Structure 1
């Protein structure tokens, strides 16, 4: 019978225990000088003896701020406490001497037991270190956040006999993260509110820059910008379009008879009538005073004439109510059309429409004239 023999001596009060372990070769039987010592007592004393034998180990064990635990993994699947550090003793309120050798079920609160056993079994099954985060605390205390690392220790046959675990309290970190998360959410909310307010202010500024303050239509400058773009598109693609100039008849008489407030009211109501006739793609703006300009893209000469006639009719048929008094309006219109060939400049096209408008006024008003 051939053995390789290792002798370990640990001074354990009141006397030292001498253990001899034998590693058999060629499948021979192993004997143990300490087989008479109860297994729980022998292993626990070995852990304690290691701490006594090496002062640095004892110092680390006593001063280590994180919770350290050693779990013995029995062949039948049970998990017994081998040792717990002073930090863990203070946390659970159970001395190491009382905890050692007890089943884990007697120490861990029932509410956390299934989760703890599941982690132990996973560590034993995989045989590799396991790191995870958990929440828990002794019964009657506020739950805390823990970051736990478990390292399995296997025998020569590969069976995991022990689990060394270290648990660090990361509650302060998680609380700080929660505070930071809420602060970020609050900041994002305030940024979103400020952004929305800024967008609203920008939209308001854009409206002030592009809209007529009285009627809400495009102002003269913006109408010219949009009309130039549409003319450029017509030139590129050979498209036809029309320009309509509309002027309210005898508008000065309305101001003189009812006052400028009544005149403004009449302008607003008449401007609102245009939406009953024009398309969304048509461009309409207040050209100046009681005069309006409209650009009708992709519109034939006959279609432009029909649109202008409907505009004249809707204005003539509407009665403006001013503080209980009816105000009757009418409009004169001039139309200029381009077939899609040589598209003139906007100024030239407006001049043609304005000339037709002048002829409509001179012809008796409340009528439309097509430019030649």
Structure 2
């Protein structure tokens, strides 16, 4: 039996020796760096040309290195025209007067400056204005040296217009609210204050009297024979009579006095700082003002008269509340009306 021959070991695969990187000469390295820098410069220029916000980079010598199209358009020249030129030579002197202290501060301290709002002429629409919000950042090297200032501008015209519109709506709303408030306290026929508002002011005046002791007078007035005017001449003439009386009362009294229509043909006046002694002449003026009002009717003008009752604090009889003071004046007004009616009856 043949003895098997021993097998030869398989030959080892040759291991490739590591390749050493090709040596680059200084000139090649410089050309490569320049190519990469040019590539990055191209990308940066494309970014500045297409970015929808305003960007500007300025050196410590205030030379413009990069500028976006938005800012170039605002300055009225091309992006290329900006490069290498001093920023103060590119913008209006009055605008540079605002920007100069900002650039100086950022270059000196390295602190960001934000929140600058500007309204600038719209280069695309002559005569119109656009609004911008700007921030300025220091560009620092690794050792903290400030290499320049990066400015960022955002067009906030739409926001400003929305704020302006909102402010306009708010003003209109406040005006409407004031109008509604005024309507709530006014008598629609005469334009005088109504009973509710009169009662509110009377309560306030009473509280002030209790605090300070300063007196005031209340006058209640009623148009004489008003029902006869309505029945004989119609409600339109009656309304006209009330309007004329209201106008006469308002124009006769002082600006500090308050006059209101508190019922159908009933009016009330509140005279602050007027005591019993000084209320008499005021009452006479009111009666005379109404007496001089000829009310036109189809049958010719007719006279209007008022019956009045007054009550003052301090006064007699002494009262303990505003409601009681009003009742005293009301009672005196009806007494005056009865006396007038009696005189007219005796005259017949």
- TM-score, structure 2 normalization: 0.60
How far off its partner does 1:354 sit? 1.2
CA distance 1:229–1:128, shift in 2 (3 Å): closer
Which residue of 2 is the match for residue 225 of structure 1? 200
Q: Does 1:202 align with 2:173?
A: no
Q: 2: CA distance between counterparts of 1:241 and 1:115?
A: 75
Which residue of 2 is the match for residue 302 of structure 1? 277
Q: Does 1:115 align with 2:86?
A: yes
CA distance 1:149–1:270, shift in 2 (3 Å): closer
The structure where strand makes up a greater share of residues is 1
CA contact (8 A) 1:331 1:366 kept: no
Q: Which deviations, in whole Å up to 9, do the C-alpha atoms of 1:235-281 show, x marking residues without a partner?
A: 11112211111111111111112211111111111101112321122
For structure 2, which runs of at least 5 residues remain unmatched after alignment?
Answer: 1-22, 47-62, 66-79, 91-102, 114-123, 125-135, 142-146, 344-348
- Within the candidate set 30, 49, 54, 1:50 is matched to 30
Q: Which deviations, in whole Å up to 9, do the C-alpha atoms of 1:10-32 show, x marking residues without a partner?
A: 737xxx6xxxxxxxxxxxxxxxx
Which residue of 1 is the match for residue 133 of structure 2? none
How far off its partner does 1:62 sit? 2.0
Which residue of 2 is the match for residue 11 of structure 1? 25
Q: 2: CA distance between counterparts of 1:339 and 1:116?
A: 78
Which residue of 1 is the match for residue 214 of structure 2? 239
How far off its partner does 1:148 sit? 11
For structure 1, which runs of at least 5 residues remain unmatched after alignment?
Answer: 1-8, 17-47, 69-78, 85-107, 133-141, 153-163, 368-372
Q: 1: CA distance between counterparts of 2:251 and 2:175?
A: 28
Q: 2: CA distance between counterparts of 1:233 and 1:221?
A: 19
Q: What is the RMSD of the two structures over their aligned residues, measured on CA atoms?
A: 4.4
Aligned to 1:337, the other structure's residue is in SS state: strand
Aligned to 1:311, the other structure's residue is in SS state: helix
Q: Does 1:352 align with 2:328?
A: yes
Aligned residues: 250
How far off its partner does 1:115 sit? 2.0
Q: 1: CA distance between counterparts of 2:30 and 2:197?
A: 90
Q: Does 1:191 align with 2:205?
A: no
- Within the candidate set 297, 310, 321, 2:296 is matched to 321
Q: 2: CA distance between counterparts of 1:240 and 1:344?
A: 13
